[in-house]
Amino acid sequence: MTSVIERLQSRAAGFSVEFFPPRDAADEAVLWRSIRELEPLDPAYVSITYGAGGSSRQGTIRSIARVATETTLVPMAHLTAVNHSVAELRHVIGSYAAVGVRNILALRGDPPGDPYGEWVPHPHGLRYAEELVTLVRSLGDFCVGVSAFPYGHPRSPDLATDTAHLVRKFAAGADFAIAQLFFEAEDFLRLRDRVCAAGCDKPIIPGIMPLTTPRTLAKTIELSAAEPPRWLVDRLRPLSDDPKSFRAAGLDVVTELCERLLAEGVPVLHFYTFNRSKATRELVNRLGLVRVGA
Ligand SMILES: Cc1cc2nc3c(=O)[nH]c(=O)nc-3n(C[C@H](O)[C@H](O)[C@H](O)COP(=O)(O)OP(=O)(O)OC[C@H]3O[C@@H](n4cnc5c(N)ncnc54)[C@H](O)[C@@H]3O)c2cc1C
C-alpha cells in the first residue's frame, strides 16, 4: 500500500480530499458517487474523518476499508484519542491495518458536544496527539500525519508554544501535517516558516474549503477560530442572498488562494468536500491539477 509521504514525494503538485463517514444509506450513496467522480482525477490520497460516537467511528472504519479494497485511491484514516483507552486505540489501528490502511492522521480530538469544553482524557487513554503518534508508530509501518494551526490551536497560549508542540509531534514520528483552515496564503506560509525556523522540514499541507455557500464561509470561520479579513467579507457577504454569484465569487477567491500556495511550492492542496465532488473537481480543473486520463 502506497504511503501518503511517497505520494507527496513522487509528484510535482496535486490535491487530496477529505470526507466524513456517512450517517445512513442515502449519505453513503452520495459519498460513493463523489469518490467515484474524483477517482479518475488521481488525488494524492483520500481521507475519512473520525467522529466521537460509536456508529460514526464504525462508519469511518467501514468506509476507509472500502476505499482501500474497492478503489485505486490511497486511503488515510483519521483517528482521535477522544473517549478511547489505549487498548481500544490499538484495536482501531489494528482494524485499519487489517484492511490495508497504512496512513493515519493522528489527532487528539475535541471534547464531544463542546469543542471548547474541558478536555478530560480517558482514564486509560492519551492526553495529546503526540502520544498517539508514538502509539501508531510503535504498532507497525504506518505513515502518520498530524494537524497544524496557522493561527495557533485555540487552546495554545501563544504561537511559539503552539509551534513547539507541533514540532514535538514531528519529533515523535509524524511524517507530515495538514493545516487547519485559514484565509490568506501568508497565514499558512508564516506557519510553515515558524516550523522551518524551528529546524523542521517535514511537509505541511494546506487545508482548503471551497467557499461555495455562506455556510461554508461560516464553517471556515468556525474551524479556523480566526476573524476573516475585511476584503473577504466585503467581497462575499453582499452576495449572501444570491447563491449563484456567491458560489462564483467564492470559487474565484479560493482559486486565487490556491494559485498563490502552489506558487509557494505546497506539495498538495487538501480539500474539504462535505462529501460532494463538484466544487473540488471544478477547482482542480481550473488549477491545472488534473492528470492524464482524467
Ligand atoms: C486537518 C485536520 C483534521 C482533523 N480531523 C479531525 C477528525 O477526523 N476528528 C476530530 O474529532 N477532530 C478532527 N480535527 C480537529 C482536532 O481534533 C482538534 O482541532 C483538536 O482540538 C486538536 O487536535 P490535535 O491533534 O491538534 O491536538 P494536540 O496536538 O494534542 O494539541 C492540543 C492542544 O494541546 C497542546 N499540546 C500539544 N502537545 C502538548 C504537550 N506535550 N504539552 C502541553 N500541551 C500540548 C497544543 O498546543 C494544543 O493547544 C482535525 C483537525 C485538522 C486540522
pLDDT truncated to tens, each residue of the chain (294 aa)? 899 999 999 877 899 999 999 999 999 999 999 999 999 999 999 999 999 888 899 999 999 999 999 999 999 999 999 999 999 999 999 999 999 999 999 999 999 888 889 999 999 999 999 999 999 999 999 999 999 999 999 999 999 999 999 999 999 999 999 999 999 999 999 999 999 999 999 999 999 999 999 999 999 999 999 999 999 999 999 999 999 999 999 999 999 999 999 999 999 999 999 999 999 999 999 999 986 554
pLDDT for 11: 77
pLDDT digits (tens, 9 = 90+) for 230-258: 999 999 999 999 999 999 999 999 999 99
Distance 230 CA to ligand 1 centre (A): 28
What residues does 271 pair with on adjacent strands?
Answer: 17, 208
**What is residue 23's three-state secondary structure?**
coil
Catalytic residues: 18
Pocket probe mutation, ligand 1, options 83, 147, 222, max atoms within 8 Å of Cβ: 147
What is the CATH classification number for the domain harbouring 168?
A: 3.20.20.220
In a domain, 294, yes or no: no
In a domain, 292, yes or no: no
What letter does residue 181 receive in the DSSP assignment? Answer: P
CA max distance for the chain: 52
**Cα separations in angstroms, 159 against 148, 163, 171, 178:** 11, 6, 18, 17
In a domain, 221, yes or no: yes
Closest by alpha carbon to 165, among 120, 121, 134, 195? 195
Q: Domain of 42?
A: 4-286
Q: Nearest residue CA, atom 39 of ligand 1?
A: 165
Ligand 1 atom nearest 107 alpha carbon: 25
Q: Nearest residue CA, atom 51 of ligand 1?
A: 147
Ligand 1 atom nearest 153 alpha carbon: 49
Residues framing ligand 1 (Cβ under 6 A): 49-50, 78, 80, 105, 107-110, 128-130, 147, 153, 155-156, 162, 165, 168-169, 178, 180, 207
CA distance 265 to 178: 15
What letter does residue 100 receive in the DSSP assignment? Answer: T
pLDDT for 291: 66
Distance 146 CA to ligand 1 centre (A): 8
Q: Nearest residue CA, atom 36 of ligand 1?
A: 165
In a domain, 161, yes or no: yes
Cell numbers for 158? 501563544
Cell numbers for 259? 494559485
Q: Number of folded domains in the chain?
A: 1
Element (H, E) at 176: strand 176-179
Pocket probe mutation, ligand 1, options 47, 82, 107, max atoms within 8 Å of Cβ: 107
93 alpha carbon, distance to own chain's centre:
18
Question: CB within 8 A of 202, min separation 6: which ones?
Answer: 170, 174, 175, 176, 177, 195
E strand segments, 61-167:
75-80, 103-107, 143-148
In a domain, 251, yes or no: yes
Pocket probe mutation, ligand 1, options 161, 165, 194, 273, max atoms within 8 Å of Cβ: 165
Q: Which amino acid is at 130?
A: E
Q: Which amino acid is at 276?
A: R
pLDDT for 146: 98
Cell numbers for 127? 492526553
Q: Nearest residue CA, atom 26 of ligand 1?
A: 147
pLDDT for 12: 74
Strands 204-205 vs 176-179: parallel, antiparallel or unpaired: parallel
In a domain, 293, yes or no: no
Q: Nearest residue CA, atom 16 of ligand 1?
A: 109
pLDDT digits (tens, 9 = 90+) for 116-163: 899 999 999 999 999 999 999 999 999 999 999 999 999 999 999 999
In a domain, 81, yes or no: yes
262: left (phi over 0), alpha (psi -120 to 50) or beta: alpha
Is residue 151 a contact partner of residue 225, using CB atoms and an 8 Å limit?
yes
pLDDT for 45: 97
Q: Which amino acid is at 170?
A: F
In a domain, 267, yes or no: yes
